Amino acid sequence: MNWDIGLVGYGEVGRIFSRGLKEQSGRAVQAWDLKFADAALRDAELRHAAEHGIAACASAAELCRQSNLVISAVTASNTLAVAQEVARHIRPGTLFLDLNSASPGTKVQCAALIDAAGGHYVEAGVMTSVPPYGIKVPMLLGGAKAAELAAVLSGWGMDAKAVAEKIGVASAIKMCRSVMIKGLEALVIESYTTARAYGVEAHMIPTLYETFPGIDWNAQGAYFFSRVAQHGKRRAEEMRESANTVLEAGFTPFMAAAIAEKHDWVAQQARAGVFAGIGKEAQWQDYADRLLERSRQGN
C-alpha cells in the first residue's frame, strides 16, 4: 500500500517523527499544528517544516484529505480533542496512530470516535524518551489493526510491537511505567536539591551508587533535571493521565498526583526564567543551585 503520512502536532515529537518517517518511508509527509495559525509562531514553524520537506497543512481537514496514516503527537491534555477533530474529517479506511501519553479510558474514548467515523484506531505506548532514539523509539501498539501497522512501521526501521487487540493495554503499560520513571525524576530533583541545601550531597549520592551500582547517579541526575526543566509542563500532563489510570483501576492516585505537582512546579520555575542560560552540558548542581537561589529570594 502507498502510505501518505500526516502528523497532527509539530512539537518536539512531531518534528522528529515527520522527518524520520519521510526519510525512512520515502513517502510524502504533511503536518498540521495550531501553531501554524499563530501569528507569533507561524513564520518560524512554517520555515522549519519547509526546510525539512514537510508540507504544512492549514487545517485538520486538509491533512486528512491527503493522508491515509494519521499520527497524533500532541500533549496529553489534547489527546481527546485531536481525536474529536480528526474524526470529523478522516477518510474511511485511514489508520490513526495515537502516540500520546493518555490513560486507557481516554484511549478508549478516542478509539470510539475514530472507528465510528470509518477510521482504524491504533494506540501506541511510547516506552521511553523520543529524542535519543528518534523514530526507532520502542513502541507498544494496541488495537484491531495493531499487528498490521506494526509490520508496516517495522519495515521502515521502527521498533513497534503489537501487544493487544484490545484498546487500553498498551497505554496501561506506558502509564504504569510513567509513574515509576516520572516519579524517579521528581524524587531525584527533590532529594538532590535538598541535599545540596544541607551540603550533604557528597555523602548522600555515593550511597545511591552502593545500593544501585548500575546507575550513574550524577549523570542520571543531570539528565532528569534537564528534561523536567525543559518539558515539565508536558510531563505534568502525562502524570495527570497516569493519575487517571490509577483512578480508573479503582485506587486513589496519591503518588501520581504528587508527581504531577512536582513536575508542574519545575515547569513554573522554568517559565519564570530560573534556568535561563544553563547549557546542554550542565550538571545537576547547576539546576539545584538555581532552585536554591530562587528559594532564598523568597519565591
- pLDDT given for residue 233 in this prediction: 94
Q: Which parts of the chain have pLDDT scores under 70?
A: 299
Q: For the segment 257-279, what is each residue's pLDDT rounded down to a tens digit? A: 999 999 999 999 999 999 999 99
Which of 120, 147, 165 lies at the terminal end of a domain, its last residue? 165
130 & 204 share domain: no
Cell numbers 522549519 correspond to: 48
Confidence at residue 100, expressed as pLDDT on a 0 to 100 scale: 97
Q: Using one digit for the tens of pLDDT, what is the confidence trace for 32-59?
A: 999 999 999 999 999 999 999 999 999 9
Residues 218 and 185 in one domain: yes
Do 123 and 13 share a structural domain?
yes
Asked if 182 and 268 sit in the same domain, the reply is: yes
> Within this chain, do residues 230 and 267 fall inside the same structural domain, yes or no?
yes
Number of domains present in the structure of the chain: 2
Same domain, 192 and 292: yes
237 and 189 in a common domain? yes
The last residue of a domain, from among 122, 142, 165: 165
Domain shared by 157 and 87, yes or no: yes
- Same domain? For 286 and 140 the reply is no
pLDDT computed for residue 16 by the predictor: 97
**Other beta carbons less than 10 A from residue 200's beta carbon:** 11
Give yes or no: residues 150 and 9 share one domain: yes
The pLDDT value given to residue 298? 77
The CATH number for 53's domain is: 3.40.50.720
pTM score above 0.85: yes
220: cell is 542520571
Asked if residue 81 and residue 176 are part of one domain, the reply reads no
pLDDT of residue 299: 64
- Give the domain range for residue 247: 171-296
**53 and 152 within one domain:** yes
